[in-house]
Chain A
Amino acid sequence: MAVKQIYLDNNSTTPCDPRVVEAMLPFFYQHPGNAASRSHPFGWEAEEAVDNARKQIADLINVDAKEIIFTSGATEADNLAIKGVFEMYARKGNHIITLTTEHKAVLDSCKKVEKMGGDVTYLEVEENGIVDLAKLEAAITDKTILVSIMWANNETGVIQPMKEIGDICAKHGVLFMSDATQAVGKIPTDPKEVGVHLMAFTGHKMYGPKGVGALFVNRKNPRVKVTAQMDGGGHERGMRSGTLNVPGIVGMGKAAELAKAEMHQDAERLSVLRDKLEAGFKERLEEVYVNGSVDHRMPHVTNISFKHVEGEGLMMTFNQNIAVSSGSACTSASLEPSYVLIALGLGDDLAHSSLRFSLGRFTTDEEIDFTLKAISEGVTHMRDLSPIWEMYKEGVDLESVEWSEH
Chain B
Amino acid sequence: MAYSEKVLQHFKHPQNVGTMDKDQKNVGTGLVGAPECGDVMRLQIEVDEATGKIKDAKFKTFGCGSAIASSSLATEWLKGKSIDEAGAIDNMDIVEELALPPVKIHCSVLAEDAIKSAIKDYKEKNGLS
Contact = CB atoms under 8 A, between A and B. Distances in A.
Interface of A: 308-310, 312-313, 316, 328-331, 333, 335, 337, 347-349, 352, 384-390, 398, 403-406
A111 to B, nearest CB: 24
B105 to A, nearest CB: 11
B61 A328 contact: no
B50 to A, nearest CB: 29
B98 interface: no
Given A310-B64, A313-B67, A406 B113 contact: yes
Given A335-B103, A406-B32, A310 B14 contact: no
12 contacts: A313-B11, A313-B63, A330-B66, A347-B36, A387-B40, A390-B60, A398-B35, A403-B31, A403-B35, A405-B33, A405-B37, A406-B113
A348 B36 contact: yes
B128 interface: no
A69 to B, nearest CB: 37
Given A387-B40, A388-B35, A404 B65 contact: no
Nearest to B44: A387
Nearest to A403: B34
B26 interface: no
Interface string B56-86: 0000111111111000000000000000000
Q: Give the 10 A-B CB pairs with smallest separation, nearest first.
A: A403-B34, A349-B35, A348-B36, A352-B38, A387-B42, A312-B64, A387-B60, A330-B64, A316-B65, A386-B62
A403 B17 contact: no
A131 B65 CA distance: 36
B41 interface: yes
A405 to B, nearest CB: 5
Interface residues of B, number: 33
B61 A387 contact: yes
Contacts of A349: 35-36, 38
B108 interface: no
A386 B60 contact: yes
B19 interface: yes
Interface string B1-44: 10100000001001001010000000000011111111111100
Contact of A329 (B19, B31, B38, B66): B38
A313 B64 contact: yes
A406 B38 contact: no
Given A316-B65, A384-B17, A386-B62, A352 B35 contact: yes
A258 B35 CA distance: 45
